[in-house]
Amino acid sequence: MDVESQILLWFDHFHQYPEVSWKEYETTNKLAEILDELQIPYRRFDDVTGLLAEIGKGDEVIAVRADIDALWQEVDGVFRANHSCGHDANISMVLGALLLLKDEKLNKRIRFIFQPAEEKGNGANAMIDRGALEDVTHLFGVHLRPIEELPFGKVSPAIHHGAAMFLEGKITGIDAHGARPHQGKNAIDVTVAIHQALKNIYFSPFEAYSAKLTKIQAGGESANIIPGTATFSIDARAQKNDILFKMKDQIEKDLQSIKQLFDIEMEWTWEDITPGAEVSKEAAAIAKDGIIEIVGMENLAEEVITSGSDDFHFYTIRNPEVKAAMIGIGADLTPGLHHPNMTFNHDSLAIGAKVIAKTLSNSAKNN
């Protein structure tokens, strides 16, 4: 079977059997099965999903990351796991690169990081804690891009993701009868105040940032009860890490002020903080050369700047000496990432695999 057909078969399998973050059990088993068939050594873990595979010889390591989890969302009226972020494609492209490289003579080792829980924002940290970056000098990632960023056939040497953080909060006031609002402490009033406070966060207009409520749950089935309790979520994003952490400080101050203003109990936790991209010029240049060799100068795209986030960038935040870049693959992807009915041109999978393979090969042959 040719490489392109094999990549499509792998994609069809992972697409058909999506699994959500930290529950990628069968996905990990399938990866192990594939690696066994290819006679590629790998390492699994007792306490988390995902695995590390490796080819080649040498003291230094070039690594590539593929995220393996799916989202949980409503698809055609049914809630289920769904690969609407394209991680099934990322797995298949990286496996394709491994297939293309496994018999090459390399001066360095190449490590394939099949990482769980990117959607939860903490899978990268789990892999780092388990040795994924030991001896690594260069790290590459790959991701399909929506059509508004890259059309099919175009490939970018780097994706500049923004930084993101997510807060979960609970308001505890006092229920009251709808006819006697003075006797209660209305949690909905508090959420409205939070909404307005988020809209009043200002930084330089030259910076890209946003903060918004993404979930409010309050009240029950009775329309005549003023709810005292509510839960809420906040999604905050910025293109730069320093702006994100300034916004975090401001949100903390605002929530404390609102708590005092309404004389209620309110507690919150930051569930995830995903850093913005720290792209290595050297790694991006290596990826650029690989792209040109595979698809030609005419299909080399500019580096992508996007408001989306990815926990890939924890690898470089925690290990600044690692030179990293994530390659963006144009695939005519519509309507967009995380849309329940996301589709893309599957011919992009072979292109992505070849670009990744050439990028890794060039890195591993460089003395």
Predicted pLDDT of residue 284:
98
Predicted pLDDT of residue 177:
97
Q: What is the largest CA-CA distance in the chain?
A: 79
Q: Which of 95-99, 171-175, 304-308 has the lowest mean pLDDT?
A: 304-308
- pLDDT (tens digit, 9 = 90+) per residue, 313-337? 999 999 999 999 999 999 999 999 9
- pLDDT (tens digit, 9 = 90+) per residue, 24-61? 999 999 999 999 999 999 999 999 999 999 999 999 99
345, HSE (Cβ side, Cα atoms, 13 Å): 17
- pLDDT (tens digit, 9 = 90+) per residue, 192-209? 999 999 999 999 999 999
Q: Average pLDDT in the 253-272 region? A: 96
Predicted pLDDT of residue 176:
97
From-to residues of CATH 3.40.630.10 in the chain: 3-162+276-365
Q: Average pLDDT in the 291-306 region? A: 97
pLDDT band at 367 (very low <50, low <70, confident <90, very high): low
Q: Average pLDDT in the 102-115 region? A: 95
What is the percent of the chain where pLDDT is above 90? 95
Cα–Cα separations (whole angstroms), residue 170 to 173, 188, 220: 10, 12, 16
From-to residues of CATH 3.30.70.360 in the chain: 163-274
Give the helix ranges, DSSP H, for the chain.
Answer: 3-16, 25-38, 87-101, 123-129, 187-199, 241-262, 281-295, 314-318, 348-365
Average per-residue pLDDT in the chain? Answer: 96
Torsional sign, CA 351, 357, 361, 363: positive
Q: Average pLDDT in the 295-314 region? A: 95
Say yes or no to pLDDT of 366 above 80.
Answer: no
Class of domain 163-274: alpha beta
Instruction: Please provide the CATH number assigned to the domain covering 3-162+276-365.
Output: 3.40.630.10
In angstroms, rounded to a whole number, what is the distance separating the alpha carbons of residues 218 and 179? 18
